[in-house]
Amino acid sequence: MKINEVLAHCDIPCKIYDPIVIQIAALTVVRIIDIIEEKNLDTSKIDDSAELARLINEKENQAKIVKDETRIIWGDYFKDPQIEANPNVHSLVHSIMMQGSKCKQGLDRKNAETLVDLVNEFSEIFWSTKDVPTKRVTAPYPPALEMVVPNI
């Protein structure tokens, strides 16, 4: 059986990539930091210690999702035409990677807010490559920060 050559732009069917997963994960990092601050856990108590460990673990998982999903879109979707139109995308993705690492390393809300800002910038670039206008809206759930969504 002869198999014909097949060419594809992406690993998955085109038009499936969407940065919303990255945005929700970045917002979740901020939210978990807020929860940790609000709870004022007493780590001398075993239950509080366990809860803090679970919260920190999930914060780090969400920061990893930001990094992994950004890498997938950047590596699989962005090709020469998208890169030529957005030459700063490489440095932006690197900044997201570095900021995601900072969020994994600590509990500084400002680092998490910066991650959200960078992810929003990436989302704007992504949608611009598809000629889809965007708008900024306040997320309808805590931490109620700004997020970029298609203006459709």
Q: What is the pLDDT of residues 109-150, one digit of tens each?
A: 999 999 999 999 999 999 999 999 999 999 999 999 999 999
The model's pTM is 0.91
Q: What is the pLDDT of residues 40-93, one digit of tens each?
A: 999 999 999 999 999 999 999 999 999 999 999 999 999 999 999 999 999 999
CATH number, domain of 107, equals 1.20.120.400
Determine what percent of the chain is predicted with pLDDT higher than 90: 88
The answer to whether residue 141 is domain-embedded is yes
Residue-number span of the structural domain to which 82 is assigned: 20-150
Q: Could you tell me if 22 and 70 are in contact, meaning their C-beta atoms sit under 8 angstroms apart?
A: yes
9 pLDDT higher than 60:
no
The answer to whether residue 13 is domain-embedded is no
Please give the torsion angle defined by the CA atoms of residues 114, 115, 120 and 121, in that order, rounded to the nearest 10 degrees: 70
Number of domains in the chain: 1
Q: What is the pLDDT of residues 76-85, one digit of tens each?
A: 999 999 999 9
The answer to whether residue 125 is domain-embedded is yes
**Cα–Cα distance list, 115 to 14, 38, 46, 81, 99 (Å):** 26, 21, 31, 26, 6
The answer to whether residue 82 is domain-embedded is yes
The answer to whether residue 4 is domain-embedded is no
